[in-house]
Each structure stands twice: as structure tokens, then as C-alpha cells.
Amino acid sequence: MSDNACSDVTGPIVCPNSVSLSVTAGTTPTFAWQPSCRASSLFVTDPNTASTQWAINELPSSLDSQPMLPPVYYGILPPNMAGDSAKPLSAGVQYFVLLTKADPAFGLAGRPIGSALFTP
């Protein structure tokens, strides 16, 4: 081990301030982002009604800050994440997904780092 132990750490990184977010087709989509990095929350909303379809956030008691790694499957909570049950998505309706990372300057919702519109 070197004198600088931090340089010896390997594994997923905390996300930068911007990622490329992708969504697969269908009413149970998969969300992925590049670079593959750790994020803290994901929100799916219906922009026509402003209703939240699914929102997941890191558990306050999680030992991992920003524990969420891609891929994330709609309606399935990743480890160390909390959220409500996902509402069914309707084919032909446009939805908005937002990915964030923890950042005290942005409050509890976190810093937006990626987003996409998608239509199942």
C-alpha cells in the first residue's frame, strides 16, 4: 500500500455533475447511466400531471453514501435504497426520469446529474 491510501481505493466512483442517462423500452424500463457511478436518488414523473410514478432515495442509515449503481429496474429497490411502490406506467404516455447525487448545496433532493424523457 502506498503512503496515499486513497489512491489505492478501487471500485465504483461517485458520479460527476453530469451523466448520460438511458432508458429501455416497455412499461417496466431499466435505467442506466454512463459513466457507471454511484448516485443517491431516482425520480420518475408524469410531466403532464406532475405526479410522481416512482421515487427512490438512499437510506439515511446506509453506510454507503450514494449507494445506487446502474442498472436500476423500474419498481425494484436497489440495495440500501428506500421508496414507495412504483405506479404502473402506461404505454404511449411520456414520462420524465431524473437522477441525482448527494450535494448539500442542493438540499435533500440532491444535485441533478442526468435526465431523460421516455415513452413506454
pLDDT digits (tens, 9 = 90+) for 92-102: 999 999 999 98
- Structural fold of domain 19-118: Immunoglobulin-like (2.60.40)
SS3 for 42-88 is EEEEECCCCEEEEEEEECCCCCCCCCECCCEECCCCCCCEEECCCCC
Which residues have a Cβ under 8 Å from the Cβ of 72 and sit 6 or more positions away?
30, 31, 32, 42, 56, 78
- The answer, yes or no, to whether residue 4 has pLDDT greater than 50, is no
**How much is the average pLDDT of 9-34?**
91
* End-to-end Cα separation, the chain, in angstroms: 49
* Buried-exposed string 84-118: b where 16+ CB fall within 10 A, e elsewhere: eebeebeeeeebbbbbbbbeeeeeeebbbbbebeb
* pLDDT tens digits along 44-64: 999 999 999 999 998 876 656
Query: What is the model's pTM?
Result: 0.87
Residue type, 110: G
- Looking at the chain, the whole-number percentage of residues with pLDDT higher than 90 is 71
Separation of alpha carbons 82 and 119, rounded Å: 25
Confidence of residue 42 (pLDDT cuts 50, 70, 90): very high
What confidence category does residue 67 fall into, taking pLDDT thresholds of 50, 70 and 90?
confident
